Amino acid sequence: MIDLGRRVAAIIEYDGTEYAGWQSQTHSRSIQDAVEAALSFVAGHPIVAICAGRTDTGVHAVGQVIHFDTQALRTPRAWVLGANTKLAPSIALQWAGEVTLGFHARHRAIRRVYRYAILNRSARSALQRTRAAWIHRPLDAPAMHQAAQVLIGKHDFSAFRSVQCQSKSAVRRVEAIEVSRDGDYVWLQIAANAYLHHMVRNIVGTLLEVQRESDPGAAMAHVLEGADRRYAGATAPAAGLYLWRVDYPALHGIPAPQAQIFV
């Protein structure tokens, strides 16, 4: 059955290890290309998918949100199960549903939540080598948390943007940031309206440095106020980064992702 003007949203989980990020690439495998091919198979016509946040090479997602327009009438179950039969094991739709034409995965998002996983022990892991960053030296999670609080609010985050970042403004608003320890793992969770290129990984790399200072908060404030990438720490590995969820106004009906990760 054919109908005109449908917009469908979906939540996607993926392991980004073997992909050159979300965005379609001419000579590399991308999440976008794989997802569009699978959805096009289900729809019976070409699909263009718009994502909430373009993850980089090696970055994972628990709750990436996309939308696409289609003429095909399919049930939510058909979109999910049908697309998953055409996707590699490293990518899977978790939810799909029809939304209004006014919904936009990127522009309607009110916040994006990322998590970063650090395996903090003397021995490296064979099983988690692509799922968490391994730091063998002891880390002070409370000191990292203290330093991270300096970043809450609306600031110029130039110190934490990559040299390839093309954003016209470096001003972003961080709503919350937390660093905590769970056994051998140190987790960072950050919620913001939007991010600069490599912003989260550069924040993590800086926290790894300032946590050794006598006053981690003051050290982080110095980096932030300096607004210069040279003052910040090295970019943390992509393997530890997850797009955890994307939040929207309730009227759009996008659920929170239910999938979890175990590291």
What pLDDT is attached to residue 1? 45
DSSP state of 252: G
Which of 108, 130, 153 represents a domain boundary (last residue)?
A: 108
Residue 185 amino acid letter: Y
* Count of structural domains, the chain: 2
Mean pLDDT of the chain: 95
Domain-terminating residue out of 108, 140, 156: 108
The pairing of strands 91-99 and 171-182 is unpaired
User: Which residue has tokens 């697309």?
Assistant: 83
Residue 253 in domain: no
Spatial neighbors of 74 by CB under 8 A, at least 6 apart, are: 42, 43, 82
Same domain? 188 vs 230: yes
**Are 115 and 212 contained in the same domain?**
yes
Q: Do residues 103 and 115 both lie within one domain?
A: no
Residue 260 maps to a domain: no
CATH number (domain holding residue 156): 3.30.70.660
Exactly one of 33, 56, 69, 156 is catalytic; name it. Answer: 56
pLDDT tens for 143-197 read: 999 999 999 999 999 999 998 888 899 999 999 999 999 999 999 999 999 999 9
Could you give the C-alpha distances from 26 to 19, 22, 54, 101, in angstroms and in order? 12, 13, 16, 30
pLDDT digit string (tens) for 73-130?
999 999 999 999 999 999 999 999 999 999 999 999 999 999 999 999 999 999 999 9
Give the separation between CA 10 and CA 139, rounded to whole angstroms.
Answer: 37
Catalytic, 56? Answer: yes
> In this structure, are 35 and 73 located in the same domain?
yes
Between CA 86 and CA 92 the distance in angstroms is 10
Whether 29 maps to a domain, the answer reads yes
Same domain for 128 and 86, yes or no, is no
Question: Confidence class of residue 263 from pLDDT cuts 50, 70 and 90?
Answer: low
Decide: 216 and 147 in contact? Cβ < 8 Å. Answer: yes
Of 237, 235, 181, which is closest to residue 205 (Cα–Cα)? Answer: 235
Q: What is the CATH number of the domain that holds 73?
A: 3.30.70.580
First and final C-alpha spacing in the chain: 44
What is the rounded CA–CA span in Å between residue 143 and residue 250? Answer: 36
Distance CA 27, CA 63 (A): 26
Q: Compute the distance between CA of residue 168 and CA of residue 197 in angstroms, rounded to an integer.
A: 12
Let me know whether 89 and 183 are in one domain: no
Closest CA to 146 of 55, 250, 237, 219: 219
118 and 189 within one domain: yes
Q: In the structure, what pLDDT confidence band is assigned to residue 259 with cuts at 50, 70 and 90?
A: low
Give the end of a domain, one of 108, 138, 164: 108
pLDDT at 5: 79
Q: Quick one: 135 and 186 in the same domain? A: yes
* pLDDT average, residue stretch 226-239: 95
Can you give the residue range of the structural domain that contains 161?
Answer: 111-242
Same domain assignment for residues 13 and 127: no
Q: Quick check: 233 and 214 in contact, CB under 8 A?
A: no
Same domain, 131 and 226: yes
Report whether pLDDT(260) > 90: no
Per DSSP, what are the bridge partners of residue 186? Answer: 118, 181
Cα angle value 136/117/89 (rounded, 5°)? 120
**3-class secondary-structure state, position 72:** strand
Identify whether residues 124 and 223 lie together within a single domain: yes
> 133 and 194: one domain?
yes
Predicted confidence (pLDDT) at residue 2 exceeds the cutoff of 60: no
